[in-house]
Amino acid sequence: MTRLIFLIAFLIPFSAGAMFGVGRGMAPTKKIVTGDPSPPALPYTTNLVVHFDMAYSPYTDTGLTTRATADGADVRGLKDFSGQNNHATNAGADFPNLKTNAVNSLPSLLFVLGEKISFGSAFDFNVVTVFIVIKNTNASGSVSIGSTASTSHYMYHSSGVGFRFTVASNQYADSAAGIADSTWYLGAGRTDGSVVTSFLNGAVGTGNTTPGNWQPDNIGQYFTSGANDMVGEIAEIIIYNEALNGTNRQAIESFLNTKYSLGF
């Protein structure tokens, strides 16, 4: 009887541990993370109004209920992670697709001419700084962010011009260097209400001293659908309702350069 009691007392702790998955040599069961994931925090968030990260933002529906995760998935919605709910959608027939493992093992949004994703209404920025991680595959150039109401208010990139940031009445600033097709770049545009400036991979380009407001309303399309529509890929878009100073602009540029291994 004494031996039997001792044996039962010896076995119970091991049986209970095995039952709950925490016995000797076993790791505790990990919690499953639920809910929609969010992208890494940006190094500067004051006056942030749009943040699309193609590893997190694309959805297959305009209601933003089903994330697009498969290569080639139709993208009808982009979730904004700025906290301002400036989501973009397309309920029509022409929409971009998700491309997985596009740049530094991260996904992109693929446009092949005529597709777009639209904001609910046009913005109207007197001061703004916008960043876009982009690859152009259209030899004649592409508009990545545009306005269906005007031939102004767009971001354009081509091998000849480089990166162009355009505000009202076609007042624009070009990058100091051109771009190569099928190569990833970081383009940026900035206006402080007095001067409009463009940047390519952190290098400042030309300036224009007679700017107007910037009023974009879509991603991927120029004024009306045509030859200048986006042909290429976009990995991330960040917009601030602020003319970022050099320190904050460079912090974002460094963050994106490291994230996408752009090499500048």
Domain ranges of the chain: 1-30, 48-260
How far is it, in rounded angstroms, from Cα 224 to Cα 213? 20
What are the tens digits of pLDDT across the range 62-80?
A: 999 999 999 999 999 999 9
Query: Which pairs count as long-range contacts for 39-46, CB under 8 Å and 24+ apart, including other chains?
Result: 39/81, 40/259, 42/238, 42/252, 42/255, 43/251, 43/252, 43/254, 43/255, 44/240, 44/244, 44/248, 44/251, 44/252, 45/82, 46/240, 46/242
Q: What is 48-260's CATH topology?
A: Jelly Rolls (2.60.120)
Give the 3-state secondary structure of residue 20.
Answer: helix
- Give residue for tokens 């700025």: 82
Residue 23's pLDDT is: 37
What is the DSSP annotation of 196-210? EEEEETTEEEEEESS
Residue type for 1, please?
M
The β-bridge partners of 118 are 89, 218
- In the chain, what are the helix, strand and coil shares in percent, each to the nearest 5? 15, 35, 50
Q: Indicate the average pLDDT of the chain.
A: 84
Burial group, residue 144, by CB count within 10 angstroms (0-12, 13-18, 19+) = buried
More confident site: 48 or 119: 48
Report d(CA 202, CA 30) in Å as an integer.
Answer: 42
pLDDT at 152: 66
- Name every residue whose Cβ is closer than 8 Å to that of residue 152 and which is 6 or more positions away in sequence: 166, 167, 168, 169, 170, 171, 212, 215
pLDDT at residue 225 in the model: 60
170: left (phi over 0), alpha (psi -120 to 50) or beta: left
pTM of the model: 0.84
Q: Which two tokens stand for residue 151?
A: 């031939």
**Range of lowest pLDDT (137-141, 173-177, 200-204):** 137-141
